Amino acid sequence: MQTSPKPLPSHIPDFLDWLDVEKGLSTKTQENYSRFIKRFIRWLEFQKLASLKPHELTSDHVWKYRIFLARQTRSERSAAAPLKKSTQNYYLIALRSLLGYFTERDITSLPADKIKLARNKEDKEVRFLNLVELERLFSMPDVSSPAGLRDRTILETFFSTGMRISELVALNRIQVEPSLGADELELGIIGKGGRARTVYFSKRVLSWLKKYLETRGDFDDPLFVNYQSRKGSSRRLTPRSIERVIKDYALRAGLPKNTTPHVLRHSFATDLLSQGVDIRLLQEFLGHKDISATQIYTHVTKKQLRDIHKKYHSGERMKK
């Protein structure tokens, strides 16, 4: 390790390049990190600490920055509600990443694990649908109409593959047409952060895709199209349109109004985990870069373990 003669703000351009080249973060994520870390730099300037070097940053500085974040409002120009705990954590995660960058560059600094995230009571349990609820949802589209058949196929595709909505809307028909009628399809896609992964289409969803594409009287590239698009405009269905359609079907099925495409992805994950799929494999299915992102689904296995312990190891079989 070596001490850097440059003050903290001077390291930010190199840090952002590191996020791009070494971490491979998407452009949007890089923009967010830039915004989050620049708030820390502005705080240093306000505290007259702009000349602070990496090795001079202390836990006390971090604590004071956390107090600053906790007392900020959602708009720096208004007396609005305070920043959510989750938003405060975004700024702290960016700072923790900066310290991780220093470690990788052998620059002496405060260890990244000294940045503790705020406990967030606002966090909610992952929302997912069980199989009974999924069947209700899937039965809502009128499959006798082209749009209804398309919608049923979209729902089936979400649950079969666990795809993100951005990944699903990007699909082209040429990617699936050669496999229609097959027992399964393994399809390579580029997901969040430019990471490649394989998604799996079941025989069931392939049969729905076949029915849907047989009703298409066009040769347009998008797999899922908007039948109401104006002539000459893109027919690719947008994420917003899919979100609106799923919300409508969920309400008609008596399901929570906050049922979204991501809830279907959660349902895919929790269904696999509840059937004994290893969490490391689930990480691959979902395309998560970090296992911590996948661990939000362990509530399923924890409940199962609790139920199994209660049923088989409660002590009731022992003699009193």
User: Hey, how many other C-beta atoms are within 10 angstroms of the C-beta on 172?
Assistant: 13
**How far is 206 from 227, CA to CA, in rounded Å?**
21
Nearest to 242 by CA among 141, 174, 172: 141
Q: Using alpha carbons only, give the angle 45, 31, 47 rounded to the nearest 5 degrees.
A: 10
CA angle 156, 161, 167 (to 5 degrees): 100
Give the Å distances, CA to CA, from 191 to 12, 109, 166, 179, 278: 27, 34, 8, 21, 21
Which residues fall within 8 angstroms of residue 167, CB to CB, at 6 or more apart? Answer: 189, 191, 199
**Per-residue DSSP letters for 84-127?**
PHHHHHHHHHHHHHHHHHHHHTTB----GGG-PPPP-TT--PPP
Eight-class DSSP state of 256: -
Q: Catalytic residue numbers?
A: 164, 192, 262, 265, 288, 297
Task: State whether the Cα torsion 250-124-164-200 is positive or negative.
Answer: negative
